[in-house]
Amino acid sequence: MKAYLLPLSCGVALFVLCLGLGIFFVEQQFSYLACLLAVLGAISFSVLLRLITKRNLKVGRSSGLKRILIVERGRKLFFIICALIVSTAFISLSHYLVNLSNVRWDVTEYKQHTLSNNTMEYVSALTTEVKLTAFYVGMPPKYLQDILTEYERVSAGMIKTEVVDPVEQIAYAATFGNAINADERKVIVQSLGNRKEVDFSLKALSEDKLTNAIAGVSRAPRTVYFLTGHGEYLTSNQENTGLSKFKQLLSDNNIHSNTLMLGMTQSIPEDCDVLIIAGPKNQLSQTEETLITDYLSKGGDALFLIEHTLITSPDNPLSAEQLQKNPSLNGILNQWGLDVQSDIVVDFTNHVGGDVGTPATKNYQKHKAITEGLDYTFFVRPRSIRLLPQRRSSIKHAVIVSTASTENSWAETNRMLDIQYDPNTDTLGPVAFSYVVIDEKNAEHQQFPKSSDTRLIVFTDADFLTNVYINQYSNGQLALNLVNWLADLDYKTFVSAKEIKVERLDLTSKQKRQVIVVLFLLPFLLVIAGFVVWLKNHR
């Protein structure tokens, strides 16, 4: 018998033994085939290994090298055992260190298994315990298990999660009320006695809704009031010129919206966290301006959205009534050092469509809560804003948005559609059309010693928040950032994410075991090959 046949036969016998055990693992029972292969492989391997050992001993005696052969074989066996121990230790230590690391590598197209920086920043700072109970009939998808695991990991134990099958665990599901049935898939979020539900029956569970629900149950919501009665954009209007989508975005981020007709109430409610004045077409009364000024002086926060000045052609001059439309609200803003101009900001380099009066820009002042991470935003015929030289020392100003270009943008004062830069009357770019103002309450300002700092933001455009534009570019995210900062929320708001298409391969338990066997046998074939070579070298 040729020398290499015995080692080769021994390797084949070992493979047959592993194949029999693999079939048993997949089928979860001893079939005739599994038993036959396992027994045949075990017997053959034992017999062949004994024959190889006897032959090696015989060769050793005939050559007088028995002792040397044994010592050499023992030395190589020792090195093999040491290599196995070191390899096992390396793999164990590397896995341990990987589990300790916060670094994750998500190669899915939509980053299904990775939480955003905003979520991680908020969740990691939680101080109250939150429980997430996901209801899913049957085997839950892998992405659902992964996202819940990530929330637990990032929160350092402040978030507890569980996945419940309402059919198998019907008694436990019933404790959550009649909102759960076999046709629904939802996550119940609970904390501090509060409860919110996130439904994902029709779409994949989205991170933004889940995080907003966590924020909603772990802290008090905020309330904003939209001023009405002067032709403002309405949150109830679902047409292109309405703010219904903006209201929905606020609601999704746990910010409640109410309307306020100040001419009737004669006061701003105590629960108003932010007053929003969204593009009034008509002048406010003196009484209303006084009420708003008092509200701001006492530490109130507000978002002013001033509409554009009206333009016309030389043969159609504006009437006195038209000149009063879209007021600048300078009667209020001048007290905080801002003066809205009656011009139109144009940009010939960066604009949307063919309208140079609709500048698109990424020229933002650096502000972590308001402008960080924004892509382009655009605005419809904004006005320029100037700082008044005479203002209180307690007032701090900062530009939020300016035009992107320098020489090709300016504040056009000609309202007769004759767009041409005039150095005597026009202001060359970059032109600022949005400011943030903080009025710090300090020892100099003792009128309301117990009030908080006044914070207000002024944009000379309201159209970018309307239903037709809010979902374009970063307009929606900017709008939420503005309200978020004014309301002093402790987490960053989220624009509703795009629909995630979950692409996954669902395997049965048997198919999973088959994959495990295949993955095991592939490297084990290399082990068998190495074993055969080792036997051959020790014949």
* 157-184 confidence digits (pLDDT tens): 899 999 998 888 888 888 887 655 667 7
The pLDDT, as a whole number, for residue 108 is: 60
More confident residue, 133 or 72: 133
- Is the model's pLDDT at 130 over the cut of 90? yes
The pLDDT, as a whole number, for residue 121 is: 82
How many structural domains comprise the chain? 3
The number of CA neighbours under 13 Å toward the Cβ of 68 is 7
Beta-sheet strand order (sheet of 222-227): 255-260, 222-227, 274-278, 301-305, 454-459, 432-439, 395-402, 363-364
More confident residue, 245 or 119: 245
* 509 falls within a domain: no
306 and 452: one domain? yes
Q: What are the tens digits of pLDDT across the range 8-33?
A: 777 777 778 777 877 777 776 667 78
Q: Which residue, of 194, 214, 234, is where some domain finishes? A: 214
Give the whole-number percent of the chain exceeding pLDDT 70. Answer: 76
150 and 289: one domain? no
421 and 297: one domain? yes
180 and 239: one domain? no
Which residues span the domain enclosing 166?
117-214
The pLDDT, as a whole number, for residue 117 is: 77
The one-letter amino acid code at 237 reads N
- Among 36-40, 315-319, 380-384, 444-448, the minimum mean pLDDT is found in 444-448
Name which of 106, 8, 59, 155 is nearest 532 in CA terms.
8
- Is the model's pLDDT at 105 over the cut of 80? no
202 and 312: one domain? no
79 and 142: one domain? no
* 112 falls within a domain: no
377 and 409: one domain? yes
* 288 falls within a domain: yes
The pLDDT, as a whole number, for residue 100 is: 65
pLDDT-derived band at 361 (thresholds 50, 70, 90) equals: very high
61 and 123: one domain? no
The pLDDT, as a whole number, for residue 230 is: 94
* 504 falls within a domain: no
The pLDDT, as a whole number, for residue 482 is: 93
The pLDDT, as a whole number, for residue 334 is: 95
262 and 380: one domain? yes
- Is the model's pLDDT at 58 over the cut of 70? no
What is the arithmetic mean of pLDDT over 302-328? Answer: 83
More confident residue, 514 or 187: 187
Name which of 397, 402, 275 is nearest 337 in CA terms.
397
β partners of residue 145? none
82 and 167: one domain? no
**What's the CATH number where 408 sits?**
3.40.50
**What's the CATH number where 196 sits?**
3.40.30.10
Q: What are the tens digits of pLDDT across the range 497-532?
A: 444 454 555 455 666 667 776 766 666 666 666 665
* 29 falls within a domain: yes
Cα separation of the two ends of the chain: 13
0.75 exceeded by the pTM? no
Instruction: Please say whether the beta carbons of 15 and 41 come within 8 A.
Output: yes
Q: How far is CA 497 from CA 151, 163, 460, in A?
A: 18, 23, 28
Helix (H, G, I), strand (E, B) or coil at 226: strand
52 and 87: one domain? yes
